[in-house]
Structure 1
Amino acid sequence: MNLEAVNTLQELQHWLLTNQLSSKSLYIIGFFAVSALLIVLATKKLKVPIVVGYVFVGILFSGSVVKYFPFLSNLQTEWYTLIIENFSYVADVALAFIAFTIGSELSIKILKSLGKKILFIVLLESFGAFTLVTLGLLALGKPFYLALILGAIASATAPAATVMVLQEYNAEGSLTSTLLAVVGIDDAVALTIFSFAEPISLIRAQGTGSLSFTNAFLHPLLEVVGSIVCGLAIGYLSVKLMVNFEDKTKKVLTLTATVLGASSLAVLFELSPLIINMAVGFAYRNFVKKNLGIAEDLETLTIPIYAFFFMLAGTKIRITAVTSTTFLITSLVYTLTRATGKIGGASLGARLGQAEEKVKKYIGLGLLSQIGVAVALAYTVQRDFAAMPKVGLLVFNILLFTTAITEVVGPLAVKYAITKAGEAKSGELSRDRG
């Protein structure tokens, strides 16, 4: 580091101390923590999904709205916007744990027992959504790079809401078993599709460089394979260490160090933090016979992280963008083509896999929710398209806007499916969905 860089760094440190950036950040963190508690209380009473409340409050306190608050000066608004924009590390931490959770849903035993029908369903519903969304947006006149990136994100399904509904109704049967397996591995396929689609989109969007076998296929393949191998190795070493621990503190710190350490290595070696942590989660599920007893600790640990993640995601939405006719039409086409691809692809896959009749009819209705890895991928787009901020912002706005719809419709569709299939045993639909 040269002398000029050292002087610049010292000046920056002095400026941050003088303006008490850490204190201002603490004010906002405290405000969001209190807001999260109020959201939980309010959504329980209003009977709406918690995550919708998080996103809504995030929108309410986004930079584009806060600037109209009469009791804040221009300087205070600028400080607020600056600090919010620099909370991106919260998203990185949340996404790491989301990916780990996805991987921990993948059981080799369940996948083997369900056989080829799972393969057909997952591939056809994932690629069905990817293809139809891409073609639908191209037909709407959108640029190829935008259609491709949104198509790749559309292939993802959020397992959390679906699993919660199945648990609340004590659902049992072939449809339930198939649905659990599909949502467990769906995001693994989506991450792979995205890993190939995003580099192509980036090249086309920037208009520099040319597509070749190396940058369109070989580099993404090496990234995916390298991330999986590295994640499995880290996960294997971690579970072998954790299996000797009985103390809760050691378990929680081992898990936290593993997930965040894997993310750091992924960034260092230019691998995918999402895929590497999904592989770590897979190792935790399959590489040890003993129950590690970390599920409850993981859930507790991630409650505040996810709350901040979704509220910060909401702050990314620009109200002026989501109210335009063009945006609404784009979002509608995205939502309809994604739903058609998911439902139609899953039904066709079930038929090709010779699944039971009720699986053929209702499996697609359990795949509509998208919050989770889809928002994670939208964050990735925003980061990688930093030189083209309008692209990242548009993708983010579309994902969060349509997610608010699917988080309401999705769980209701799951309830309808298991009820019609005769697999809903008892209970009432939980209103604590996140």
Structure 2
Amino acid sequence: MGINNLSNLIDAHKWFFNVQAGNKILYITALLILLALIIVLITKKLRIPIVVGYVFLGILLSEDLITPLPFLNKLQKEWYFFVIDSFGYLTHIALGFIAFRIGSELTIKLFRRLGKDILVIVILQTLAAFSLVTLSLFTLGQPLYISLLLGAIASATAPAATVMVLREYNAKGPLTSVIMAVVGIDDALALIIFSIIEPISLLIHKGQTELTIIKTIGIPLIEIIGSLIIGLIVGYMAQYFLTIFKDRTKKILILITTIMGASALSIYTGHSPLITNMAVGFACINFTDKNLEISDYLEIITVPLYAMFFILAGTEIKFTGLKPDFSLITFTYIIARMIGKIGGASYAAYLVKAPKKIQKYVGFNLLPQSGVAIAMAYTIQNQFATDTSTLIFNVLLFTTAFTEVIGPLATKYSISKAGEIETEAS
């Protein structure tokens, strides 16, 4: 088997070289970056969040809309689809930076001031989204295992779009602090829920009823605790080097090495790169009293990475091969999830007597879904029948497209109404 794998690898290497695949990747990368620049100019002019433009651009560049174009031949289209698919690694890198950014905002001082309140908000809005989506889809006539899976996925909130909008408008204030904390912890809880629900759904799908504590709770907890331990260790070492080195170039390289290295290590050991990098960011900001200027460095190095990430998210949308009741299922999923997220967060904020603007607006920042939710859908593809995985994956892709557009607009609206936009981007 090793010889065959080596032979295949050599053949692939020769093919890659002979057809100059690297040049094709360069051409399309250059085109995407150019289009990203045009999108930035347009969105700045229209005064809408940049991420909305990125996602719309990605939808326009999706396979279903590129395929009918008459001015591209079949070979050019196939090369385009091949290159787009080859960018999958960018998702891991972008999510690593996003998770690190969130973790770096979670200071111990913030938890001391808002810790219990934040946990209440996270738990209630997560459980509300899970419960409402599960019950709504089951009432609609979907099998229990599909309803449970989509309910578990609905609990996840993609932090990338929200964080990007907060950064773009330099938002500061109590609402912004709570938002950063909630979206930072949300995915950890969502991963726990999904890790428990997935094996239960699989057993229901197969007609089995035997469940064990180890499978439903033990393994997910081991993965999460392991991710936290790896992240805290890597983060402690990173902040040490960031503290002793003063040179800007060294600090930027240390930061990039840390985030990408933590992602690689967590994936290799079977842990969560998202939780790992959150722990890295948390350790970097809390294990030292010095200002490491992390935000300044991230501001510079993540601009093209985030652009590619959101454009590629838009290209994943598919309009063909959908079931007749797909629209109703997707609509029910989106509405039930939005009610759960907004209603659950607002009610939780009311229970903990948070300031009025937090009660009114915190839920509007929890709508986007992309990275973690799509990763969950990929897991389902490997475990369930094709019809089930295709339905769930398409629901997630359409939800991603919708929420990655409406979510940033809702975030800008909420921080604007709360008076926490410090500077309008120009």
TM-score, normalised via structure 2 length: 0.87
Match of 1:382 in 2: 378
Q: Distance in 2 between matches of 1:51 and 1:164?
A: 8
Counterpart in the other structure of 1:185? 185
Residue deviations 1:249-308 (CA, integer Å, cap 9, x gap): 111111111111111111111111111111111111211110101211112111111111
Q: Is the 8 A contact 2:165 2:411 kept in 1?
A: no
Shift of 1:368: 3.7
1:234-257 Cα distance to aligned partner (Å, 9 max, x none): 111111122101111111111111
CA gap of 1:8–1:350, structure 2 versus 1, over 3 A, is: closer
Separation of aligned partners in 2, 1:365 and 1:215: 32
> What does residue 400 of structure 2 align with?
399
Q: Does 1:411 align with 2:412?
A: yes
Q: How does 1:184-223 map to 2 (within 5 A)?
A: 184-201=184-201, 211-223=211-223
**Unpaired runs of at least 5, structure 2:** none
Is the contact made by 1:118 and 1:353 (CA closer than 8 Å) also made in structure 2? Answer: no
Aligned-partner residue type, residue 401 of structure 1: F
CA RMSD of aligned residues (A): 3.0
Encode CA deviations 1:331-365: one digit per residue, 9 max, x unaligned: 33223222222232223323432445x25741544
Letter in 1 for 2:67: K
Tell me how far apart the structure 2 counterparts of residues 260 and 177 of structure 1 sit (CA, whole Å): 26
2 CA distance for matches of 1:171 and 1:235?
25
Q: How does 1:114-133 map to 2 (within 5 A)?
A: 114-133=114-133
CA distance in 2 between partners of 1:82 and 1:175 (Å): 42
Cα pair 2:346 2:363 within 8 Å, conserved: no
Distance 1:431 1:246, change over 3 A: closer
Which whole-Å CA distance do the structure 2 matches of 1:426 and 1:9 have between them?
A: 52
**How much has 1:15 moved relative to structure 2?**
1.9
Report the equivalent of 2:61.
61
Alignment match of 1:367 (pick from 365, 368, 385): 365
TM-score by length of 1: 0.86
| 1:203/1:209 contact within 8 Å kept | yes
User: Residue in 1 aligned with 2:261?
Assistant: 261
In 1, the alpha carbon distance for the partners of 2:168 and 2:41 equals 22
Match of 2:292 in 1: 292
Question: C-alpha deviations, 1:186-240, integer Å up to 9, x for none?
Answer: 3443343344444545666688996432222111111011111111111111111
Superimposed CA distance per residue, residues 118-137 of structure 1 (whole angstroms, 9 cap, x where no aligned partner): 33222112221222122222
**SS, match of residue 71 in structure 2:** coil
Range with greater deviation from structure 2 (192-201 or 124-133):
192-201
Distance in 2 (CA, whole Å) between partners of 1:93 and 1:280 is 14
Pair 1:102-2:102 in alignment: yes
1:20-39 alignment to 2 at 5 Å? Answer: 20-39=20-39
How many residues were matched structurally?
420
Indicate the percent of aligned positions where both proteins have the same amino acid.
Answer: 42
Distance in 2, Cα, partners of 1:87 & 1:167 = 25
Cα pair distance change 1:183/1:89, threshold 3 Å: closer
